[in-house]
Amino acid sequence: MYSFTGEQQQFRDSLQRLLREDYPFDRRRGIARSASGWSVETWRQLAEVGALALSLPEAHGGFGGGAMDTFLVMEECGRALLLEPYLSTIVLGAGTVARAGNEAQRAAILPAVGRGERQLALAHYEPGSRYALDAIACEARRDGAGWVLSGAKSWALNGATADQLIVSARTAKGPSLFLVDRTAAGVGVRDYPMYDARRAADLQLDRVHVAPDALLGEEGEAVPCVAAIIDTAIAALCAEAVGAMAILLETTGQYLKTRKQFGTPIGSFQVLQHRMADMLLETEAARSMALLAASRMAGAPPGERSRIVSAAKVRVAEAARHVGQQAVQLHGGVGVTDELPVSHYFRRLTLIEMAFGDVDYHLGRFGRHLFDTQPQ
Amino acid sequence: MQPGFFVEDTAFRTNVREFVRATLPVDLRHKVLAGGRLEKEDYLSWHRILFAQGWIAPNWPRVFGGCEWSPVQQHIFEEECALAGAPGIMPFGIRMVGPVIMKFGSAAQQQRFLPRILSGEDWWCQGYSEPGAGSDLASLRTRAERRGDHYIVNGQKTWTTLAQFADWIFCLVRTATSGRPQEGISFLLIDMRTKGVTVRPIIMLDGEHEINEVWFEDVEVPAANLVGEENKGWTYAKYLLGHERTGNAGVGQCKRWLAELKALAQHQPGNDGRPLADDARFRDRIARLEIDLMTLEVMNLRVLALEQERHAPGPEASMLKIMGSELQQALTETTMQALGHGAAPYPQPLTGRYLNFRKATIYAGSNEIQRNIIARHMLGF
Ligand SMILES: Cc1cc2nc3c(=O)[nH]c(=O)nc-3n(C[C@H](O)[C@H](O)[C@H](O)COP(=O)(O)OP(=O)(O)OC[C@H]3O[C@@H](n4cnc5c(N)ncnc54)[C@H](O)[C@@H]3O)c2cc1C
């Protein structure tokens, strides 16, 4: 099977140790109830072990890691059911800045992100867009040399705690990206918890004035850029899901070996053993596709990248649903309680299943090019 | 930072592709692509071409005349051959008894049998199952009694694939009845032309003769044909089953079938007169199959890499067996359904394939048994 380099393994071990020791489930429960929904202390620790800077460019204080490194971090995030905004700040936020930003923007933002001192959020989806990436109604009008932004954004992950928002809005040349301070005049933020205990925000932009250098990337080029970033986010989520599924498999297996009914551990019942075998099969299928997506993230032309990411998302989403639902079922009554971690993993997997496009969406996107290449 | 098994070996692929294009006989290729039933000579002609090239045993070590290819190369080779319409390589010699003889056989057995497996001079078949011993293989009853330097074999094997072509059969036989059933089993190599061996055809649900009963009546087998030690056959048998399961993923074949299905969907009319390929429901079905195939391919590479690292197949092969056989069945089913009423006329290759491949979840250890293996050996139940 794929073996990570020695360096990568060391890194994974230190991250795993950190999360095992400092992120027990009871602590997580407290963090989830806190005002921001994530821990500044844990974020600082992640910065210290280098997890935040891992995938940032070397020129800007990062380690220049690739999608396989992100895979590794995200799998651990999934195992620990981490609440901290790695996906929003690092993968979506810093990823967009690194991809679209000019030198000055990169230098101003990325090193601070790597040190854990700045939070970013991507505000792209809108109330009417469902999963579509090109349905941008938000507007950006010229205002002297700067811009004025108006419109509504939805489901900006960790939007309420971000220092800077990356907002897509339509100019005369089409959808474009802008850096907007979360506290700028005219930005209305409605923060809400999701059913997996994480936070997202809906934004109201009411004539928000931004400077000329707020434009991120080329005017009119937001959609391909966001599409690429969301593909990396999906690949990352696939890895997170694999980590979460592995934990469900472990804990459900242990439960079946200890819980007794009819005078025997329920794991002695073949019907339950076969469910577990299928859960393992699903998890390994998901891992295969998550690895494939991560390994093809760099270098593949956009069409091929999206095709593989959609395939991975379909397979991982179906595995996530299967493994999550079966883990709850095999625990019986305690499976549906808030008390056990099982239901929390299940909720996270359910959210991942729909995040950035559900099975139907990605099956459709995959199928659009099904007949492009003639059979050999 | 690319995982090793995803790295494409372009030079190797080109090399294989060109070789197959240059050497695979055109009529054989057409016969395979049309889904026709292959004769012994069809299999053998391709076998001999690969043998002459030194490519007949991708998974064997070089000392025994194999290629010792990397997992990626084995995968590419299988895929290129299957896509080009080459017949499959029969597993009984190369994948099954060959590795057992290499690992447990005597030097004399290795010298006698391995070269003839490579050259195709000997066609082997697998004598494991019996009427009373299927999933519970260890309950087998075919007896072998030692008389001087011979064994006398009596009993019956069944479901024996292509025994009608076979020169040799490797058999699990009972040499002791005391102790656990597994402890009295031996691994015996039997010449099919020996007096007392009878092959009777079993006709399958697709109307074809692919499997047989093999009867043994006072069959004299030289003691030199015992592999390894007497009563240790169960260990060898299980070793073989691991190899058999990995070989069952059939990624290359699935790729060809998917390509066929896509081609069919593009000209087969749907209910509104437009091609099925334009029907969103049917498209989704094909898309799912393709995604499952991508998954199987990566799984296959991961398991091959793991086996190479460990120098032995492990329980992971059971995952491949389940995924591979279920995908084969889904592909054959969807392809048949694409034909609509056109699937009905009999005999007909695409319907025949659907009928025939109901076998895939039964043989090589049924999928229920594979789940038992996973539960026990991977999940610790
Ligand atoms: C086309 C074909 C080719 C074959 N070729 C060969 C060959 O060349 N050589 C050879 O030796 N054998 C061959 N076999 C035999 C094959 O290995 C057996 O059919 C298989 O092991 C199942 O045994 P059985 O048919 O007796 O079914 P049974 O063992 O009677 O099984 C019947 C059903 O019960 C289920 N079952 C049985 N035990 C359990 C359990 N413990 N837990 C859960 N479910 C269980 C099975 O999964 C199956 O669904 C072939 C079979 C087929 C169909």
C-alpha B152/C-alpha A199 separation (Å) is 76
User: In chain A, which residue's Cα lies nearest the Cα of B283?
Assistant: A367
Q: In whole angstroms, give the CA distance from residue A208 to residue A141.
A: 10
Greatest C-alpha distance within chain A? 79
Contact check, Cβ <8 Å, A296/B262: no
Which CATH number, 2.40.110.10, 1.20.5.510, 3.30.160.60, 2.60.40.1730, labels domain B124-232?
2.40.110.10
Please give, rounded to a whole number of angstroms, the shortest distance from the CA of B209 to a CA of chain A: 31
What is the model's pLDDT at position B61?
94
ipTM of the complex as predicted: 0.92
Task: Count residue pairs from A and B with Cβ separation < 8 A.
Answer: 120
Whether the Cβ atoms of residue A306 and residue A365 lie closer than 8 Å to each other = yes
Give CA–CA dist A81/A345, Å, rounded.
7
pTM: 0.94
CATH of B4-89, one of 1.20.120, 2.20.25, 1.10.150, 1.10.540: 1.10.540
Give the domain ranges of chain A. 6-119, 121-220, 223-373
Calpha distance B233→B184 (Å, rounded): 8
Residue B307 has a pLDDT of 79
Task: Retrieve residue A141's tokens.
Answer: 């009008």
Which residue from A253, A311, A376 is facing B379, i.e. has the nearest CB? Answer: A253
Residue in B2, B302, B372 nearest the CB of A288:
B302
Listed by start position, the domains of chain B span 4-89, 124-232, 248-377
The alpha carbon of residue A15 is apart from the nearest alpha carbon of chain B, in Å, by 19
Residues of chain A with C-beta less than 8 angstroms from the C-beta of B319: 280-281, 284
Residues 6 or more apart from A10 whose CB is under 8 A from it? Answer: none
**Cα dihedral value A159, A164, A169, A173, nearest 10:** -150
Q: Which DSSP string corresponds to B17-42?
A: HHHHHHHS-HHHHHHHHTTPPPPHHH
Question: If you measure from the C-alpha of residue B364 to the centroid of ligand 1, how many angstroms do you get, rounded to a whole number?
Answer: 7
The rounded Å distance from CA B35 to ligand 1 centre is 25
Report the residue of chain B nearest A314, measured CA to CA.
B291
CB contact under 8 A, B291 and A277: no
**Is the shortest distance between the CB of B159 and ligand 1 below 6 Å?**
yes
CA–CA gap between residue B10 and residue B19 (Å, rounded)? 14
Among the listed residues B19, B367, B354, the one whose alpha carbon sits nearest the alpha carbon of residue B204: B354
Name the closest-CA residue to atom 7, ligand 1: B160
How many angstroms separate the CA atoms of A330 and A258, rounded?
12
Residues of B marked as catalytic = 244
Q: Is the CB of B135 under 6 A from ligand 1?
A: yes
Residue A49 CA to residue A60 CA, distance in Å, equals 17
Q: Answer yes or no: same fold for B4-89 and B248-377.
A: no
* Segment 280-309 of chain A within 8 Å of chain B by CB: 280-281, 284-285, 288-289, 291-292, 295-296, 308
The conformational region for residue A257 under phi > 0 = left, psi -120 to 50 = alpha, else beta, is alpha
* Structural tokens at position B87: 């017949």
Residue B376: alpha-carbon gap to chain centroid: 24
- Give me the amino acid identity at B381: F
Closest CA to ligand 1's atom 16: B363
Q: Whose CA is nearest to atom 32 of ligand 1?
A: B135
**Helix, strand and coil percent figures for chain A, each rounded to 5:** 55, 15, 30
pLDDT the model gives residue B92 = 96
pLDDT digit string (tens) for chain B, length 381 residues: 234 446 678 899 999 999 999 999 999 999 999 988 899 999 999 999 999 999 999 989 999 999 999 878 888 999 999 999 999 999 999 999 999 999 999 999 999 999 999 999 999 999 999 999 999 999 999 999 999 999 999 999 999 999 999 999 999 999 999 999 999 999 999 999 999 999 999 999 999 999 999 999 999 999 999 999 999 999 999 888 877 776 668 899 999 999 999 999 999 999 999 999 999 999 999 999 999 999 999 999 888 888 778 877 788 999 999 999 999 999 999 999 999 999 999 988 999 999 999 999 999 999 999 999 999 999 999
Query: CB A284 to CB B299 under 8 A?
Result: yes
Peptide bond into B347 cis (omega under 30): yes
Looking at the complex, report in whole angstroms how far the Cα of residue A350 sits from the nearest Cα belonging to chain B: 20
pLDDT of A8 reads: 92
The answer to whether A367 contacts chain B (CB < 8 Å) is yes
Report chain B residues whose CB lies below 8 A from the CB of A69. 1
Low-confidence ranges of chain A (pLDDT < 50): 1, 374-376
In tens, the pLDDT along B124-134 reads: 999 999 999 99
* Three-state SS at B233: helix
Question: How many residues belong to chain B?
Answer: 381
Q: Which atom of ligand 1 is nearest to the CA of B204?
A: 1
Residue B130 is given by DSSP the state B
Q: What is the pLDDT of residue A375?
A: 39
Given an 8 Å threshold on Cβ–Cβ distance, is B381 in contact with A367?
no
pLDDT of residue A251: 98
Residues 6 or more apart whose CB falls under 8 angstroms from that of B3 comprise: A2, A68, A291, A295
What is the CATH T-level fold of the domain A6-119, as seen in this structure?
A: Butyryl-Coa Dehydrogenase, subunit A; domain 1 (1.10.540)
B380: which 2 tokens? 């610790």
Give the separation between CA A193 and CA A158, rounded to whole angstroms.
Answer: 10
Give the residue among B337, B333, B355 at the shortest CA–CA distance from B346. B355
Residue B264 distance to chain A (closest CA, Å) = 10
Inter-chain touch B379–A291, beta carbons under 8 Å = no
Which class for B267: exposed (0-12), middle (13-18), buried (19 or more C-beta within 10 A)? exposed
- CA–CA min distance B180, chain A (Å): 22
Establish whether the linkage from the previous residue to A375 is cis, with ω within 30° of 0.
no
pLDDT value for B75? 86
Q: Assess whether the C-beta atom of B134 lies below 6 angstroms from ligand 1.
A: yes
Q: In this structure, are residues B283 and B277 in contact, taking their beta carbons and an 8 Å threshold? A: yes
pLDDT per residue over A290-320, tens digit each? 999 998 888 889 999 999 999 999 999 999 9
Atom of ligand 1 nearest to the CA of B126: 9
Angle between helices B316-338 and B280-310 (to 10 degrees): 160
Assigned superfamily of A223-373: Butyryl-CoA Dehydrogenase, subunit A, domain 3 (1.20.140.10)
Q: Which residues of A touch B299 (CB under 8 A)?
A: 284-285, 288
Q: Which CATH class is domain B248-377?
A: mainly alpha
SS3 state at A186:
coil
- Give the pair of three-digit tokens for residue A376: 């050999």
**Does any ligand 1 atom lie closer than 6 A to the CB of residue B138?**
no
How far is Cα of residue A261 from the mean position of the Cα atoms in its chain?
A: 39
- Pairing verdict, β B168-174 and B185-191: antiparallel
- B122/A361 Cα distance (integer angstroms): 53
pLDDT digits (tens, 9 = 90+) for A198-233: 999 999 999 999 999 999 999 999 999 999 999 999
**Is any ligand 1 atom within 6 A of the Cβ of residue B123?**
no
For residues B272 and B107, the answer to whether their CB atoms sit within 8 Å is no
In angstroms, how far is the first alpha carbon of chain B from the final one? 36
If one residue of B123, B357, B362 were mutated to test the ligand 1 pocket, choosing by the most ligand atoms within 8 A of its CB, it would be B362
Chain A residue with CA closest to B17: the answer is A376
d(CA A375, CA B30): 16
DSSP B308-326: HHHTS--THHHHHHHHHHH
> Can you read off the two tokens belonging to residue A44?
């600082």
- The CA-atom distances, in angstroms, between A305 and each of A174, A292, A311 are 24, 10, 10
CATH class assigned to A121-220 = mainly beta
